[in-house]
Amino acid sequence: MVEQILPLRLAGAKLTRRGRTLVGPIDLTLGPQGFTIVMGPNGAGKTSLLRMMHGLERPSSGRVEWAVPEVQARPSQAYVFQHPTLMRRTALDNVAYPLTVHGMPRKEARARAAEALKSVGLGDSALKMAYYLSGGERQKLALARALIRKPEILFLDEPCASLDGRAIRDIEHILLTAHAAGTRIMMITHDHGQARRLAEDVLFIHHGQLHAADQADAFFSDPQSPEAHAFLKGDILI
């Protein structure tokens, strides 16, 4: 039986670079369920927080701890970037790659990848080279690849940035389907409407500090942080 990797606990977690604090110190516990939206102005430290939680960046001080040793947690999480990095292969082989690299026979991996592509609306594009896909299709491909191993938690850094309404709708449907199937989601967005549609809870970051960690209804109706209140009003935070 695979052990659950959540909760994820941050204790005084801080990330610095060249003497500049990018985010932190942060104290936070991320439970095993939920759809968390991370909000805040540009440069607030949102991406740094996600990268530190996922392990792409090591905390300069403090702790980031899963419920299991990190080596066990790694296979049960995934990360989707704002601009996904795709291999110079077909869409099918891009999605099959996480399975083959973990030892699944190529034929079986490609069969599962074909089903994953169908589930995100890319069934007819399986044999296309990934670099021929549109921006929205590339993001769907990245989601199919991230979700194919059924991660316990999925981190997303503005996956809908610069996409049109139809692509945004499709991606939100994919995320909600994955969440309903049991994947815990933590996602950055600048889109207030998207945040209201998707969030179960919200983290608000400003100047690298966690100013609010509330249930979505409470955050959007009556934010307790003055900075969050100003942000939701559309004020410029400096």
What does each of the 238 residues of the chain score in pLDDT, given as a tens digit? 468 999 999 999 999 999 999 999 999 999 999 999 999 999 999 999 999 999 999 999 999 999 999 999 999 999 999 998 899 999 999 999 999 999 999 999 999 999 999 999 999 999 999 999 999 999 999 999 999 999 999 999 999 998 999 999 999 999 999 999 999 999 999 999 999 999 999 999 999 999 999 999 999 999 989 999 999 999 999 8
Please tell me the predicted confidence (pLDDT) of residue 49: 98
Domain ranges of the chain: 8-85+150-233
Say what the pLDDT of residue 3 is.
84
pLDDT score of 2: 65
The string over 85-111, giving b where at least 16 C-beta atoms fall within 10 Å of a residue's C-beta and e elsewhere, is ebeeebbbbbbbbbbeeeebeeeebbe
Q: How far is CA 69 from the centre of its chain?
A: 21
Phi first, then psi: give them for residue 153, nearest 5 degrees. Answer: -140, 140
45 Cβ contact partners less than 8 Å away, ≥ 6 residues apart: 15, 22, 23, 24, 205, 207, 208, 209
Residue that is written with structure tokens 């100047």 in the block: 207
pTM exceeding 0.75: yes
CATH class of the 8-85+150-233 domain in this structure: alpha beta
